[in-house]
Structure 1
């Protein structure tokens, strides 16, 4: 039972008295508390909360500005050799066709007839099309505006994620995690490429922040906004389409969301992807769909030789070229004749089952690894010149430290996932959601391509889970090292 006492009524403190498990407050003590509160300008606990709030805002502002300055410095110092290349060609082409032909298609702009398709997800092309609409055409001003916007979005992912966990981790752990997110090289370099990773990271972080509000507040507004944000993220990367539904079911099952809030969350999360699928159903039948692209990634990810042969193929190795042609042939067979393609893959697996078992077992570590495979390598997706991580001694040292720390980050993040899923407290919903997101993404890309580039949007969540794991490890160490008092017999 909780009872106000004369000694603590003025300060608002509570003393606990166990009696019949009921709450009893004497009327004269309530009057005493009200009179004391009138005499004081601000009760001590309220003043402390205000100081903590101001301090927290200062921490968020410092980390965000630091991340923004670092990304802006890198974005306007480094030079991407031919930035419109690879996947960026299709993103920019789709944006150009949207603005100038009012059709979503990756068909070349010089085609006399452009037919709509669904090969690429619409989120990032719409982002590019917004700036293209303002500037009229692809040029230097348009490109610089994209770089500045992506630097800002990359920096904003940090306060969103930190705010989502504000009440679940000590402030010094959050500050450390925020600084690590700010300097993590993959997240910094991703801002300069015309690729979807930075926008996708921002939308995922926004979704988790809105989810934290939906878990803490009553009503249906926040679950609906959270679902719409997850839907926008799914339109940027289709791998996330089922996640909102699965997450809503999981949070309801674990009693973090009531049934109506979970339904509102799931319905809003599926609304935008469903509308896009309705549009795609009206297109002519073709293999150039997002589903066909996923099948290609599935086949490519099933070959242990794919990444190494791709890099050798780019270097002109004829044997690697034959290997890439063989992989593409199997992918086309699976798209055109699924039964025959599946039989070919099963036959290949049966020739060396142990090898493929170990390959799939290693894919989670490859996903959360360091060296980007399809691209320049290291922390760069496309060939990048004049990188501050190459000539700036401080940034070189930071990159080397992060590289060495990356395996430990994976271990702490895995431990954080386990501890987040094992805890059974009402305040643990957002930690559970982050753990489920990382596990879901790891599973999806272990089935498809396990490429460190695809883990970039989730590096911030990985860092927070690692902070959770590290904080739990420190608590257990303190308990283990705490001296015990033993009773001596006289």
Structure 2
């Protein structure tokens, strides 16, 4: 069946509006408990992410230590990507209310844009009716709507992963190696928020090379940013471990 030229742009526009509208409406009206203040008695991912962001802004230290009179000790329990995202908003709006609103609204936007990006990724192999069904399901999926109202990394990581794949795929299709490196950098940034994804950028580059879609030089170029980000973070952690060791004989 012949696809009308206006059908795909119209479909993406409608699904994007639906996806963004639902997520923004939810985060504006939902009341979600975020127990970030009671850090002595509550243990949750959101509490730790908030502590990292606060210590980054107030002490320039990556640490999940609770507030105290002493400078926090640096650690590496969490990956740095999402705390840096939170800290960027906190540096702009230090007070809780505007910071919290900025985080939730930005996560809703990221979550909403992940849906059309996912459709763009699937357009390679799915016909338009199936894309419409998949896009509608992604836009309406309850968990992907509700997750944006929590101080958790899923919204950021999901957006970066899908955006990086779409960016890299389109750049490779156009034969633009430098642009494809940008897409791989976005994938690597997703890995900096969830270390499980860090090998994904490298595996994806090697897989495309194995399928003979790119040559060896392009595959190596795509590995630059994942390697640099991972190496820099691991070097920081190695220095942290070395500096925390007691002197010999103690």
2:131 aligns with: 174
Contact kept in structure 2, 1:223 and 1:262, CA below 8 Å: no
1:165 aligns with: 122
Give the whole-Å Cα distance in 1 for the aligned partners of 2:121 and 2:129. Answer: 15
1:291 aligns with: none
Of the candidates 178, 184, 193, which is equivalent to residue 236 of structure 1? Answer: 193
Contact kept in structure 2, 1:241 and 1:270, CA below 8 Å: no
Give the whole-Å Cα distance in 1 for the aligned partners of 2:163 and 2:69. Answer: 38
Structure 1's 91 and 58: CA in aligned 2 closer, same or farther, altered over 3 A? same
Which deviates more from structure 2 when the two are superposed, residues 238-247 or residues 277-286? 277-286
| C-alpha distance after superposition, 1:386-443 (max 9, x if no partner) | xxxxxxxxxxxxxxxxxxxxxxxxxxxxxxxxxxxxxxxxxxxxxxxxxxxxxxxxxx
Contact kept in structure 1, 2:165 and 2:184, CA below 8 Å: no
1:68 aligns with: 20
TM-score (norm 1): 0.46
**Cα offset, 1:110, TM superposition:** 1.5
1:271 aligns with: 228
Where do 1:242-281 residues align within 5 Å? 242-281=199-238
Where do 1:432-471 residues align within 5 Å? none
Tell me if 1:90 matches 2:42.
no
Contact kept in structure 2, 1:228 and 1:271, CA below 8 Å: no
Give the whole-Å Cα distance in 1 for the aligned partners of 2:12 and 2:92. Answer: 32
Tell me if 1:120 matches 2:78.
yes
Give the whole-Å Cα distance in 2 for the aligned partners of 1:65 and 1:274. Answer: 39
Give the whole-Å Cα distance in 1 for the aligned partners of 2:112 and 2:62. Answer: 29
1:99 aligns with: 57
Tell me if 1:154 matches 2:106.
no
Contact kept in structure 1, 2:188 and 2:198, CA below 8 Å: yes
**Cα offset, 1:168, TM superposition:** 2.6
Give the whole-Å Cα distance in 1 for the aligned partners of 2:27 and 2:35. Answer: 12
| C-alpha distance after superposition, 1:18-61 (max 9, x if no partner) | xxxxxxxxxxxxxxxxxxxxxxxxxxxxxx99x61x43222111
| C-alpha distance after superposition, 1:251-305 (max 9, x if no partner) | 2112122211111112222221221112212113599xxxxxxxxxxxxxxxxxx
Give the whole-Å Cα distance in 2 for the aligned partners of 1:68 and 1:201. Answer: 15
**Cα offset, 1:225, TM superposition:** 0.8
1:78 aligns with: 30
Give the whole-Å Cα distance in 1 for the aligned partners of 2:78 and 2:243. Answer: 13
Paired residues, what number?
237
Contact kept in structure 2, 1:97 and 1:104, CA below 8 Å: yes
Contact kept in structure 2, 1:226 and 1:269, CA below 8 Å: no
Unaligned runs of 5+ residues in structure 1 are 1-47, 288-490
Contact kept in structure 2, 1:160 and 1:206, CA below 8 Å: yes
Unaligned runs of 5+ residues in structure 2 are 37-41, 245-250
1:56 aligns with: 8
Contact kept in structure 1, 2:169 and 2:180, CA below 8 Å: no
Give the whole-Å Cα distance in 1 for the aligned partners of 2:75 and 2:221. Answer: 30
**Cα offset, 1:71, TM superposition:** 1.0
Contact kept in structure 1, 2:167 and 2:182, CA below 8 Å: yes
Bigger RCO (CA 8 Å, 6+ sep) = 2
Give the whole-Å Cα distance in 1 for the aligned partners of 2:122 and 2:34. Answer: 39
Q: Which has the larger Rg?
A: 1
Tell me if 1:109 matches 2:67.
yes
Q: Say what the alpha-carbon RMSD is for the aligned residues.
A: 2.0
Tell me if 1:145 matches 2:97.
no
**Cα offset, 1:186, TM superposition:** 1.1
Of the candidates 157, 182, 190, which is equivalent to residue 200 of structure 1? Answer: 157
Extract structure 1 runs of 4+ deviating beyond 4 A: none
Where do 1:389-404 residues align within 5 Å? none
Give the whole-Å Cα distance in 1 for the aligned partners of 2:144 and 2:70. Answer: 39
